[in-house]
Amino acid sequence: MSPKKTKKPESFDPIASHMRRIIEELGENPKREGITRTPERYARAMRHLTSGYAMDPRAVVGKGLFKQEESEIVIVRDIELYSLCEHHLLPFYGKAHVAYLPRGKIIGLSKIPRLVDVFARRFQVQERLTTQVSETLMELLKPHGVAVIMECYHLCMMMRGVEKQNSYTVTSSMLGDFKTNSITRQELLHLLGMGGRHRP
């Protein structure tokens, strides 16, 4: 008589296992119908939201660099971004505006939002996220200048702590001519319409 086959257990996911324990510690029943599968869903969501750790910026840009003798400002504005604040693991979200002054090379426009995602899909602070995008573009393109401006709402301020729903944070990283040439910097801000209030 052959031994009775036992049902294979579901693949073990340590994130789901820890989340099940957290749910229980918070006073909820992890076996309740609406929550039974929540730990697995949470684990999948967190792996997606932190997928930037497995991404190489150079690989994302790939062959998206082209020789082009242009010298005018190139801007990709209103790039939607979503990230997780590393202090409370609560989301922050908003928009990024990315500009550069070419010097013999341009980048495929779709590569810029993808580059933002590489760094946004990690545990972050907005200040570092802004700098990482600008410094990476400066390294890859070696342009005359790079500017990155981000405007974000932080749920760690809106849902807890000071609970200010209408406040948002603006960060900028100016490199090359955008940092050293005030006329170039003012032209950028004028093109972005930042003379007045701009909401993300």
User: Is 86 an annotated catalytic residue?
Assistant: yes
Strands 74-85 and 123-124: parallel
User: Is 97 an annotated catalytic residue?
Assistant: no
Which listed residue (124, 144, 152, 154) is catalytic?
154
Q: Which residues of 75-92 are buried (b: 16+ CB within 10 A; e: fewer)?
A: ebeebebebbbeeeeebb
User: Is 126 an annotated catalytic residue?
Assistant: yes
User: Is 85 an annotated catalytic residue?
Assistant: yes
Which listed residue (24, 28, 86, 127) is catalytic?
86
Which listed residue (18, 28, 80, 87) is catalytic?
87
User: Is 144 an annotated catalytic residue?
Assistant: no
User: Is 88 an annotated catalytic residue?
Assistant: yes
C-alpha 182/C-alpha 188 separation (Å) is: 10
Tokens matching residue 1: 């008589």
Q: What is the rounded (10 degree) CA torsion for 90, 95, 101, 105? A: 70
Which listed residue (40, 156, 187, 198) is catalytic?
156
User: Is 152 an annotated catalytic residue?
Assistant: no
Please give the positions annotated as active site. Answer: 85-88, 126, 154, 156
